[in-house]
Amino acid sequence: MDYADGQEVLLGDAVNLGGGSVGRVVAVLDTGRYSERYPEEDWSYLKDGALVEAPAFGLVHCTGSDHDFTLLRRNEIN
């Protein structure tokens, strides 16, 4: 999964969801990277995209075709 500018979406990225909302990438299903809070055994059934945790929305599953979030900064998490 990539951002619109071609950069790869990475676990832990801080993202802008629009409208002043921010979130953190907590799983990248395409590459099999999952944070400790969102383990593979619980979320791999979704197959592709990314999970973004945001205070304003909770947990959001974004797929390559429907996401419009942008990278704010890189920040690896476990």
Kindly report, residue by residue over 7-63, the tens digit of the pLDDT.
999 999 999 988 889 999 999 999 999 999 999 999 999 989 999 999 988 999 998
pTM of the complete model: 0.90
What φ, ψ does residue 32 adopt, rounded to 5°?
Answer: 70, 30
Cβ atoms of 25 and 11 closer than 8 Å: yes
Torsion over CA of 35, 10, 42 and 58, rounded to 10 degrees? 80
Amino acid 65: pLDDT:
64
Amino acid 75: pLDDT:
85
Q: Cite the DSSP H helix spans in the chain.
A: 40-43
